[in-house]
Amino acid sequence: MNCWDKLNRLFPKAGISQIRAKRVLLYGPPGTGKSRFGRMQGLLPDQPVFALTLHEESVADEVRGMYLPNGSTFEWFDGPATEAWRIGARMCFDEIDRASGAMLSLLLGYLDDHEVAQMKLPNKEIIKPHDNFCCVATMNGELTDLPLALQDRFTVRIRVDEPNPDAIERLDADVRKAARNTVGIADDARRTSIRIWKEFCAMRSSFDEEFALATCFEARASEVRDALRVARA
């Protein structure tokens, strides 16, 4: 069973009435469809989705919330993870492996088992996660790039090293095979991404194939031209 078979089974495109996996990590090479999947599939009817890309300087306020001036006083505003806990939203964290120490510790709290999860906010309020709260995190590194305790909180971890088949189906028919053979592969020098193939298809319809090859693939244009020729044969 490949990664997308597993993911489509866990997170069907529509019609779910109960969250089946609450803390999911999708990791692997860029441009395979991880983030889009996290934002779009396996949602309950009308379930909101909040997305945040983490980086080395991400701070707790962006995730947990903060006091902001309101007239002559300060008012508490929930950050996306706090709001997702309260209302049972899907929280998507992209590039989770780029978060630094303090943020990683905060994430341990937000990703605790629902049974034990509880947090005291700076406004002294004590909150617990809604039953429908679900987190899908993505990153390009390997699982072992995360601290052990954070790895352990992702009870579903899936290495995504193939392009989402739905994305391939949306490309022009004559490039699908070449895309399938090169998106997500381990070899950095030969790897392509769904993004680039989408752009290539759009560009060649506005200009011509040679221009699209040279613009989207630069030095690799002739290699991709050969791959397309073989795939079309």
Ligand X SMILES: Nc1ncnc2c1ncn2[C@@H]1O[C@H](COP(=O)(O)OP(=O)(O)OP(=O)(O)O)[C@@H](O)[C@H]1O
**Contact between 162 and 2 (Cβ < 8 Å):** yes
Q: Which stretch binds Mg ion (CB under 5 A): 132-140, 141-149, 180-188, 216-224?
A: 132-140
Q: Which of residues 192-211 bind ligand X (CB under 6 A)?
A: 194-195, 198
161 binds ligand X (CB under 6 A): no
Picked from Mg ion, ligand X, none, the partner binding residue 157 (CB below 5 to 8 A depending on kind) is: none
193 binds Mg ion (CB under 5 A): no
Each residue 87-116 as x (binds Mg ion by CB under 5 A) or -, in order, gives: -------x----------------------
Half-sphere exposure of 226 (CA within 13 A, CB side): 4
What is the SS3 assignment for 30? coil
CB of 206 to ligand X, least distance (A): 17
Query: CB-based contacts of 79: which residues, under 8 Å, 6+ apart?
Result: 61, 62, 63, 64, 65, 66
Each residue 18-37 as x (binds ligand X by CB under 6 A) or -, in order, gives: ------------xxxxxxx-
Picked from Mg ion, ligand X, none, the partner binding residue 36 (CB below 5 to 8 A depending on kind) is: ligand X
Picked from Mg ion, ligand X, none, the partner binding residue 30 (CB below 5 to 8 A depending on kind) is: ligand X
Concatenate the DSSP letters of all residues of 163-225 into one string.
--HHHHHTS-GGGHHHHHHHBT-S-TTT-B-HHHHHHHHHHHHHS-HHHHHHHHHGGGHHHHH
Q: How far is CA 78 from its chain centroid?
A: 22
Residue spans of beta strands (DSSP E) within the chain: 23-27, 49-53, 65-70, 73-78, 90-94, 119-120, 126-127, 134-139, 156-159
How many C-beta neighbours within 10 Å does residue 33 have? 25
182 binds Mg ion (CB under 5 A): no
140 binds ligand X (CB under 6 A): yes
Q: How far is CA 172 from its chain centroid?
A: 24
What is the SS3 assignment for 120? strand
CB of 166 to ligand X, least distance (A): 4
35 binds Mg ion (CB under 5 A): yes
138 binds ligand X (CB under 6 A): yes
- Total site size for Mg ion, rule CB under 5 A: 3
170 binds ligand X (CB under 6 A): yes
Contact positions toward ligand X, by CB under 6 A?
30-36, 138, 140, 164, 166-167, 170, 194-195, 198
Positions touching Mg ion (CB under 5 A) are 35, 94, 138
